[in-house]
Amino acid sequence: MIEAQIFKIKDLRNKILMVAFLLLCFRALAAIPIPSIDAIRLRELFNTNQLFGFFNIFSGGGLDNLSIVMLGVAPYITATIIMQLLTMIFPSLKAMYYEEGAIGRAKFYRWSRYLTVPLALLQGYGFLNFLIFHNILPHLGFLDLLKNAIIITAGTMILVWIGELITEQKIGNGISLIIFAGIVSSLPANIWRALSAYNPETLPTYLVFSIVAVLVIAGVVFINEGERKIPIAYAKRVRGMKMYGGASSYLPLKVNQAGVIPIIFAISILLFPQFIAQASAIFSKSLSLKFNELVTQFFNNQYLYALIYFLLVVIFTYFYTAVTFDPKEISKNLQRAGGFVAGIRPGDSTSIFLSKIINRLTFSGAIFLGLIAILPQVMRMFTGMAILTIGGTALLIVVSVALETIRQINSQLVMREYEEI
């Protein structure tokens, strides 16, 4: 029904076709590799190092063949996170983002793009040195390394530009859709590898895996869409001969208030030592290699890695919820509008009540996100097969982006129905 309505409306149909075209352009760029790659050694490195699985998720699938967009949108995400953290330190930056409206946020993201360039250049230069050490790329001189690093940085900025063009269509967030497209594009190859490894003796394992996969997807949708509705009543007000207010509504508080952002933050922190190791190659290649070895050892220790990853996700869930949800501000806005929570006094009492509710919801959402994040390690321990793992982070991103895109399409359909009336 929705599909029929989408393709009946010319404007909406053109927007969806434009988004599809831009995503095809991204996949075309992801298929262009940098020269002189040893594909066999690259495959071995990916199979033995979980770190590159994370890189590949945020590159939108551009890393597995070392394409010219191998860094993907990861430097831009890192730059945005740094800018978000700086709002906690500099009040003027916080005021620009939260109080100056659309103009302030546009300036904020413009500064994030400026910061993306040096981050991508440093990361690209260090990563190329890392690949040369593992004999995946031949030895290159400084100028050749710098030239390739500039090409990779240009690839990242092209993806950021494509993401902004997608966002302008108001059919989902562009950066999220690029990551989504990269994850989805790898599904056929993953399914084929799983089917290739099948034999009659592993049938029970495959059946259990299929059931768990369906339950996990259902759980992700349930938690992602779950919300606590706080009933709000509005006092009656008389102005002249008219009476206003007296209506009732509700304030929706989502269980997963932070979305997928805490996982992205946690991964960025986990990848930060690798970024330092790559950037240090500018000053000392031997020091960079030592850093890389230490980081690789950490990622290979599954129990330590899973524990730290889980804790980081929980911490960042509370942090991001505290940044984006201010009970005092919401309480003030309700009071100005003449609204109140039934049985709760307006003002500080409402703020305390909302804080208690959001803390309980955040606890549930944080535990859920943490378990989703370490799901691949848990599946690997139970199945004993690296090929039968449910990528929790990738799954959450895919489901969240799909739901948000559908929500935006539905909102545009509803808006056009009102316009027709």
CATH of the domain at 162: 1.10.3370.10
Instruction: State the pTM of this model.
Output: 0.75
CA atoms within 13 A on the CB side of 161: 9
Both 207 and 172 in one domain: the answer is no
Both 148 and 214 in one domain: the answer is no
- Tokens 């919820």 belong to which residue? 321
* Residue 312: per-residue pLDDT: 87
pLDDT tens figures, 81-108: 888 778 878 888 877 877 777 788 888 8
Within a domain: 77: yes
Task: Check if the beta carbon of residue 378 is closer than 8 Å to that of residue 305.
Answer: no
Mean pLDDT score of the chain: 77
* Residue 373: per-residue pLDDT: 77
Both 283 and 161 in one domain: the answer is no
* Residue 161: per-residue pLDDT: 93
Which range scores top for mean pLDDT: 107-116, 164-173, 399-408? Answer: 107-116
**How far is CA 388 from its chain centroid?**
23
- Tokens 């916080």 belong to which residue? 94
| Average confidence (pLDDT) over 49-59 | 63
Both 209 and 178 in one domain: the answer is no
Of residues 36 and 227, the one with the higher pLDDT is 227
Confidence label for 29 from pLDDT (cuts 50, 70 and 90)? confident
Both 39 and 139 in one domain: the answer is yes
Contacts of 257 (CB under 8 A, 6+ apart): 321, 324, 325, 358, 361, 362, 365
Q: Which of 141, 159, 185 is the last residue of a domain?
A: 185
pLDDT at 5 over 70: no
The span from the first CA to the last CA of the chain, in angstroms, equals 20
Number of separate domains in the chain? 2
What is the rounded CA–CA span in Å between residue 190 and residue 400?
21
**DSSP character at residue 36:** S
**DSSP character at residue 259:** T
Within a domain: 96: yes
Within a domain: 240: yes
Residues paired with 341 in a beta bridge: 232
pLDDT tens figures, 283-299: 666 766 677 777 777 76
Within a domain: 337: yes
Both 299 and 220 in one domain: the answer is yes
Residue 63's alpha-carbon distances to 35, 50, 151, 252, 394, in angstroms, are 14, 13, 14, 39, 15
pLDDT at 158 over 90: yes
What is the rounded CA–CA span in Å between residue 274 and residue 352?
41
Contacts of 290 (CB under 8 A, 6+ apart): none
Task: Check if the beta carbon of residue 122 is closer than 8 Å to that of residue 282.
Answer: yes
pLDDT at 252 over 60: yes
Both 232 and 352 in one domain: the answer is yes
Q: Kindly state the percentage of the chain with pLDDT values over 90.
A: 5
* Residue 283: per-residue pLDDT: 66
Task: Check if the beta carbon of residue 183 is closer than 8 Å to that of residue 397.
Answer: yes
Q: Is 55 exposed, middle or buried (0-12, 13-18, 19+ CB in 10 A)?
A: buried
Residue 82's alpha-carbon distances to 105, 109, 150, 172, in angstroms, are 15, 11, 22, 23
Both 209 and 154 in one domain: the answer is no
Contacts of 132 (CB under 8 A, 6+ apart): 138, 139, 140
What phi, psi does 183 have (nearest 5°)? -65, -45
Residue 261 in tokens: 């952002």
Q: Which domain holds residue 170?
A: 1-185
Task: Check if the beta carbon of residue 345 is closer than 8 Å to that of residue 295.
Answer: no
* Residue 346: per-residue pLDDT: 80
Q: Are strands 237-239 and 242-244 parallel, antiparallel or unpaired?
A: antiparallel
* Residue 114: per-residue pLDDT: 92
pLDDT at 247 over 70: no
User: What are 347-356's contacts with CB under 8 Å, separation 24+?
Assistant: 351/327, 352/327, 354/230, 354/253, 354/327, 354/330, 355/327
pLDDT tens figures, 318-363: 888 877 777 887 888 777 777 778 778 887 888 888 888 888 888 8
Task: Check if the beta carbon of residue 76 is closer than 8 Å to that of residue 112.
Answer: yes
Residues paired with 227 in a beta bridge: 254
Within a domain: 404: no
Both 149 and 256 in one domain: the answer is no
Residue 131 in tokens: 């690949």
Q: Which of 126, 160, 185 is the last residue of a domain?
A: 185
Confidence label for 160 from pLDDT (cuts 50, 70 and 90)? very high
* Residue 116: per-residue pLDDT: 92
Within a domain: 306: yes
Both 145 and 245 in one domain: the answer is no
Within a domain: 396: no
Task: Check if the beta carbon of residue 414 is closer than 8 Å to that of residue 5.
Answer: no
- Tokens 């940085």 belong to which residue? 153
Both 175 and 219 in one domain: the answer is no
What is the rounded CA–CA span in Å between residue 336 and residue 334?
5
pLDDT at 17 over 80: yes
* Residue 395: per-residue pLDDT: 75
Within a domain: 357: yes
- Tokens 């009492």 belong to which residue? 349
pLDDT tens figures, 110-140: 899 999 999 888 888 877 877 777 677 777 7
3-state secondary structure of 320: helix
- Tokens 């027709």 belong to which residue? 420
Task: Check if the beta carbon of residue 232 is closer than 8 Å to that of residue 250.
Answer: yes
- The answer to which of 19-23, 69-73, 215-219, 411-415 has the lowest mean pLDDT is 411-415
* Residue 382: per-residue pLDDT: 65
3-state secondary structure of 292: helix
Confidence label for 143 from pLDDT (cuts 50, 70 and 90)? confident
Of residues 206 and 4, the one with the higher pLDDT is 206
Both 218 and 165 in one domain: the answer is no
The identity of residue 421, as a single letter, is: I
Q: Which of 155, 185, 215 is the last residue of a domain?
A: 185
3-state secondary structure of 117: helix
* Residue 317: per-residue pLDDT: 86
